[in-house]
Amino acid sequence: MDLTELAGEAEAAGLACRGGFHPGPEDGLPGFADGSAVATVVLLGFVGAQQWTRFATSAEFADGRSDALDRWSRRQIDALAARHAAMAFYPSEGPPWWPFQRWAMRAEPVFPSPIGVLIHPRFGLWHAYRGALALRTRLALPAREPVAHPCESCAAKPCLATCPVGAVRVNGYDHRGCATHVAAPAGRDCLEFGCLARRSCPVGREYRYAPAQARFHMAAFIGERRDRNAGS
Ligand code: B12
Ligand code: SF4
Ligand code: SF4
């Protein structure tokens, strides 16, 4: 098996392959029960609106129970893990949380943005991680080309000036202030169409979430549907 094959299986399951890396002790991964070490980690997730339809037409989405996105992700990724005798890890497991953003920076060209989520040169702020497969096999990984950090050439930084309640700041994100605004009538634009600060970013505009997807994540974020960590 190689990474392309695994990416094909992930795509068939409704997930994008978000790259991989060969972990070291600093990556904090446990070994397998038989004592063998993890040789390759492959991250799986959503990019733009491409995978949304698969989830939005799933049994989990329709059943009205909480944690729909988590349950759907686990069903897909646990099946891939079983097929490849791999371990599966999830961003929603915790606290303590698995360091998905650190792993992501090891796996693909994503960079810290001023608004807290990682920015991708193509998908901008419109992507997320749904799980990770830890494999015993050392897969060959494509060489990483140097890629420029998109925020370095963004002089205007509109993401820092757009939030109506100033929740997005250089020195941190005020998640309580944000959630209070989104849950109030004045925050209807953010709730229905997604974070205004994120929408102001010029990178990856064509990958912005459609209103239904944006609303799902924002509603989950303010606890409307109790979907733990459905943020993406
Ligand atoms: C807890 C959490 C929250 C909390 C944050 C509470 C708080 N003040 O800490 C709340 C609920 C508020 C939240 C909100 C959101 N979250 Co959140 N959240 C998480 C979660 C579950 C854990 C984060 C954590 O503490 N990790 C622990 C540390 C040890 O892990 P780490 O990888 O090392 O992460 C840190 C480093 O990346 C570090 N860091 C920052 N810059 C740099 C630079 C360098 C060089 C390095 C090395 C590290 C570093 O900051 C991270 C800490 O947050 C992660 C999933 C996960 N398991 O990582 C999602 C996650 C970070 N969230 C995510 C998202 C999308 C959101 C929301 C946009 C949700 C929404 N509304 O749709 C919002 C907005 C966040 C924002 N503007 O920052 C995504 C980010 C995807 C991406 N593109 O990066 C994640 C990865 C979940 C996912 N399924 O993909 N979130
Ligand atoms: S608006 Fe500019 S600084 Fe902000 S996340 Fe987008 S590219 Fe980076
Ligand atoms: S969702 Fe709205 S209130 Fe929250 S950070 Fe984004 S712009 Fe600000």
pLDDT single digits (tens) 208-230:
999 999 999 999 999 864 455 55
The model's pLDDT over 134-190, given as tens digits with 9 standing for 90+, comes to: 999 999 999 999 999 999 999 999 999 999 999 999 888 999 999 999 999 999 999
Nearest CA owner, ligand 1 atom 58 = 100
Q: Give me the pLDDT at residue 1, please.
A: 82
The pLDDT assigned to 229 comes to 55
Q: CA torsion, points 159, 165, 167, 170, in degrees to nearest 10?
A: 50
What ligand 2 atom has the least distance to the C-alpha of 200?
A: 1
Q: What is the pLDDT of residue 230?
A: 58
In 3D, which of 185, 158, 152, 140 has the Cα closest to residue 7? 140
Residue of the CA atom closest to atom 56 of ligand 1? 91
- Cβ–ligand 1 distance for 232 under 6 Å, the answer yes
Separation CA 159–CA 162 (nearest Å): 6
Q: Mind listing the pLDDT tens digit for each residue in 36-85?
A: 999 999 999 999 999 999 999 999 999 989 999 999 999 999 999 999 99
Give the tokens for residue 129. 């991680």
Mean pLDDT, range 111-123, rounded to an integer? 96
Residue 159 beta carbon below 6 angstroms from any ligand 2 atom: yes
Map residue 119 onto helix, strand or coil.
strand
pLDDT computed for residue 170 by the predictor: 86
Give the integer Cα–Cα distance in Å for 138 and 1: 10
What's residue 232's pLDDT? 60
Distance CA 152, CA 199 (A): 18
Mean pLDDT of 4-25: 98
CB 29 within 8 A of CB 9: no
- Pocket test of ligand 2: the residue of 123, 127, 199, 201 to mutate, having most ligand atoms within 8 Å of its CB, is 201
Residue 108, pLDDT > 90, answer: yes
